[in-house]
Amino acid sequence: MTGSPDPRALRVAAVIPCFNEALSIAQVVDEFRAALPEAEIHVFDNNSTDGTAEVARATGATVTHVALRGKGNVARRMFADVEADVYVMVDGDATYDVRDIRQHIDLLVRDNLDMIVGSRIDDGADAQTYRRGHRFGNRLLTGAVASLFGGRLTDMLSGYRVFSRRYAKSFPAVSEGFEIETELTVHALELRMPFAEVPVLYRSRPEGSESKLSTYRDGWRILKTICKLFVSERPLLFFSSVAGVLALLSVILAEPLLTTYLRTGLVPRLPTAVFVTGTMLVAMLAFVCGVVLHTVTIGRQEAKRLRYLAIPGVRHRGSP
């Protein structure tokens, strides 16, 4: 058989990260069972104190306790513990409409993709569902990642994603908290994985349920993650930029000194001359560091790529 496998024959796992979502987790599980009855449903409870795990077990979902707090730690356990051909990750707050999930899996298989991201469309029922500050921050951070790593995404921070097995098993999760979405996106862009973005209805939370997000705190953490990934994955560009700024500063400070020296043969401001010399040396050192780290980064990317290529694409999973 050389064609695509039937998506219904693939082993699909719904992986749901939860922290204090007792009011919504049953709804999420029920909606998954209605839209994707053949899927294995795994709820990963991140030290909830409101009985989320008990509610999830009552629905028949497989519940895994994750002691380390943070969505990044939960994602690490998800991909490590669950064996499947397709992974569907959706937050446990019942804000994402999963009725079209089968079509999204079909798209993943048909186009042999590795990731599908759900771009949120506000249902308009509540102005607080997708607040203006969150929208602005999302656009800003998504634009920053697109500029640094390429790719065309409009909602990098979406919690609705579909992954192939080769994505899940090649993803070296490092982040601890909500910045995991940034790392998920950059991993796909770094390895130039095929991915797509689809519209997904974003709904209001169930009454009494509260968001765990903080616009400024989580935005700052995500921005720091982007900076860290920029340094680690684009070291030549980063250190070349630092070297360029330092070299330009040296030239600006050195120009009057050089002019005076050529005219009189004297160096009038010795401390400034020493500072200029030191700055130029630091600029050269920064450039050399960038070249060396660029070579190291290429080696790491090659190792990730080889791991990724060692796993069959979703189109070939289940094919004889």
Query: Along the 320 residues of the chain, how does pLDDT read in single tens digits?
Result: 345 555 567 899 999 999 989 999 999 999 999 999 999 999 999 989 888 999 999 999 999 999 988 888 999 999 999 999 999 999 988 899 999 999 999 999 999 999 999 998 876 665 555 666 667 777 888 888 888 888 788 888 888 999 999 999 999 888 777 788 888 998 999 889 999 999 999 888 776 666 666 666 767 777 888 888 888 888 999 999 999 999 998 888 887 777 776 677 666 776 777 888 888 899 999 999 999 999 998 988 888 888 888 888 887 765 44
- pLDDT value at position 261? 65
Instruction: Report pLDDT for 86.
Output: 96
- Position 284, amino acid: M
CB-CB neighbours of 255 under 10 Å = 11
Which two three-digit tokens encode residue 26?
Answer: 């049953």
Query: What is the reported pLDDT for 15?
Result: 96
pLDDT of residue 124: 63
Reported pTM: 0.80
Report the pLDDT value the prediction gives residue 7, as an integer from 0 to 100.
Answer: 57
